[in-house]
Structure 1
């Protein structure tokens, strides 16, 4: 009889504690930030909910999900949960997508890491602080990033693939946001690009760096491969050891546009391709597929120079004298365009 009484008391205590946990009768009212990764079922969160103190009995929570048939996928994001919420309220909070507003964010081809960060912050996808931590410190495990580990500032430049993405405002975990772009890059850096890189005996980072230069310099799709060809001709020539690419100089100065002054060209940064031979130390933007393909399949020609025209096209030249004549033509074209529009000549 004594044993029965003791067992009854123990079971009663257990029932009381479990009931309190399930129905949150007397529990802490604090709020806890709880982050969920993509493609996660609620049952997989039981241990984490227990660990964070949102529930006291992870196994009971998992049993509750089974009995109530509520073991569903959860949207990735950060949720505000509380121990004062009963099990059903926790499930509803994790499943409630209706309160999350989606936003389509377009990352244009040629955007730098800084421009992407600003775009995501402006669209309320992530905070600047969280993005800085993810972009500069988090060791993403993609195979194509292995040679770049450990992470350092701007180490992902060139690998966040430009595209239109759907995110949840203030809902997606920042690492998931970055992962979407990295996964997209991994998919778009396809066999054709890999084969081209192998034929050129260039590493992925070199291809991405060259593609970033092409992306920032070329405006007309038909000229992507042509400009890539100019870059390779210079890289392979002892006569032209300097790439002299303005977009790279601008990047080293922390800019993405504008006219370069004589002082700018003399400013010694690692990205000043007028002062340092060969490629810059890394990509200067995040290139799209056309630029990546052009970097791995450059046009075969003997041009070493090009100069921009008002319509975005370029005049190409083999010799410096021919290039000087093209520069005069370009200056005249810009002046004519400025006069036609009544604006000051802005040609470079």
Structure 2
């Protein structure tokens, strides 16, 4: 009997076990379904957020739906488009400065921005904003005077100092744009410094802005074309010299002569040496040496006179490769109509005049006179300075 009761109890205890297993199985299934729902919701949520972000960013880039509100943006000196992105973001022209930077880097449009005020609108797309900043033209004009004897590098700096355009825009026009002037055909292809000698020194009224740079340089070239007149052309033909050679000689005269009445005399010295190259193989023009060193003034040291540049006329024979500056009409005329004389040497005096000689002995005597005069002038200047 007791065994039967025990058996019943044992069977009774075993009965609930399958029900407990089924409950746990149901809970596992329920939790699995819940996890799947949460995962789907999370994915959908992230997708919606990303989609909305993409829509907002695309709207910022392409300006599909943006407010129409003109904003004046003041750009400081030496600012490029990338560094301007934060300012555009802060001013409300764009909404995503980082995205604008990425756009610029992908487009490769990181040009300099001319300092000044710009009217920009949030409804402009990124391309329009970049174009407005980097390629702006202006109705504002400025008068600039290019002195006679300025090199291309000096003209370059003058235009930048006058805030006419950005360096990038100016470099592109000066160094890569192939101007179609007839007198430049022999100078092509365009490269750095190829316009040296042909940017005529004068006073110009020009438009500010990168879009006007080409027109500005074109004005200077057109002016040269007009100033290289029939009289100069006839003189060049009589000398048997090309335009390039005459302009090169004129540039040497421009940098060496300080008095108008000596331009033709100095030109005559240069041609006398060129025409007697066996006896005078080197022109020994200091201004050309300075140009090769990237300088426009200053005394030359012994080391300078040994420098290995194609413009060192103490070591290179004949004319330099090209002009060393942009000469004015008086120097062009002197180079085309040099004075006839027997001088082969000259040395500068403190007042800007020169002593000329036809022999080395006479030249040495002139150098002694020049040194004495230079020393006296320096002493007088020091005395005057000390008196103050």
Considering the TM-score relative to the shorter chain, is it more than 0.5?
yes
Deviation, structure 1 residue 83: 11
1:100 CA displacement: 3.4
* Bigger Rg, structure 1 or 2: 2
Which one of the candidate residues 325, 329, 341 is aligned to 2:369? 329
Superposition pairs of residues 210-225 of structure 1, within 5 angstroms: 210-225=249-264
Q: Secondary structure at the match of 2:303?
A: helix
How far apart are the structure 2 equivalents of 1:167 and 1:326? 46
Q: Could you say which residue in structure 2 is the equivalent of 1:173?
A: 212
In the alignment, which of 240, 243, 246 is matched to residue 286 of structure 2?
Answer: 246
Counterpart selection for 2:335 from 276, 285, 295: 295
Matches within 5 A, 1:20-59: none
Q: TM-score, normalised by structure 2?
A: 0.64
Separation (CA, whole Å) in 1 of partners of 2:267 and 2:193? 24
2:179 to 112, 136, 140: 140
Distance change (3 Å), C-alpha of 1:288 and 1:343: farther
> Any idea what SS the aligned residue of 2:163 has?
coil
> In structure 1, which of residues 111, 114, 118 is the aligned counterpart of residue 153 of structure 2?
114
Match of 1:104 among 123, 143, 150: 143
Secondary structure of 1:101's match? strand
1:35-93 residue CA offsets vs partner (Å, 9 max, x unmatched): xxxxxxxxxxxxxxxxxxxxxxxxxxxxxxxxxxxxxxxxxxxx9898969xxxxxxx9
Q: CA RMSD in A?
A: 2.5
- Give TM-score scaled by structure 1 length: 0.71
Equivalences for 1:156-167 in 2 at 5 Å? 156-167=195-206
**Cα distance in structure 1, aligned partners of 2:162 and 2:316:** 38
- Asked if the contact 1:112/1:284 (under 8 Å) is kept, the reply is yes
The aligned residue for residue 11 of structure 2 is: none
Find the aligned partners of 2:68 and 2:299 in 1 and give their Cα distance: 58
Structure 1 residues 161-218: Cα deviation after superposition (integer angstroms, max 9, x where no partner): 0000111233651111100100000000000000000000100000000000000000
C-alpha distance in 1 between matches for 2:238 and 2:375: 43
CA change 1:269–1:171 in 2 (3 A) is closer
Residues 65-144 of structure 1 correspond to what in structure 2 (within 5 A)?
Answer: 100-144=139-183
> Does the 8 Å CA contact 1:100/1:171 hold for their aligned counterparts?
no
Tell me, what secondary structure is at the counterpart of 1:173? helix
Aligned to 1:286: 326
Relative to 1, partners in 2 of residues 1:205 and 1:80: Cα closer, same or farther, differing over 3 Å? farther
TM-aligned CA deviation for residue 126 of structure 1: 1.5
Instruction: Give the length in aligned residue pairs.
Output: 261
Mapped to 1, the partners of 2:149 and 2:383 lie a distance apart of 27
> CA offsets, 1:205-244, max 9 Å, x none?
0000000000000000000000000000000002101000
Other-structure match for 1:266: 306
Aligned mates of 1:132, 1:162 — CA distance in 2: 19
- Which structure exhibits the higher relative contact order, with contacts defined as CA atoms closer than 8 Å and separated by 6 or more residues? 1
Counterparts of 2:190 and 2:211, CA distance in 1: 22
Q: How does 1:186-201 map to 2 (within 5 A)?
A: 186-201=225-240
- Structure 1 ranges of 4+ moved more than 3 A: 25-31, 79-85
Q: Paired residue for 2:297?
A: 257
CA contact (8 A) 1:228 1:295 kept: yes
CA distance, structure 1, for counterparts of residue 361 and residue 68 of structure 2 = 78
> Offset at 1:27?
9.1
**What is the CA distance between 1:338 and its match in structure 2?**
1.4
Asked if the contact 2:151/2:325 (under 8 Å) is kept, the reply is yes
On the 8 A contact 2:169/2:210 being kept in 1, the answer is: no
Contact 2:147 2:202 in 1 (8 A): yes
- SS for the counterpart of 1:104 is strand
Indicate how the Cα distance of structure 1 residues 318 and 132 shifts in structure 2: closer, same or farther if over 3 A, else same. Answer: same
Structure 1 residues 29 and 293: CA distance shift in structure 2, 3 A:
farther
Offset of 1:114 from its aligned partner? 0.3
Q: 2:323 matched to 1:277?
A: no
Aligned equivalents of 1:206, 1:83: Cα separation in 2: 55
- Structure 2 unaligned residues grouped into runs of 5+: 1-63, 71-117, 125-131, 133-137
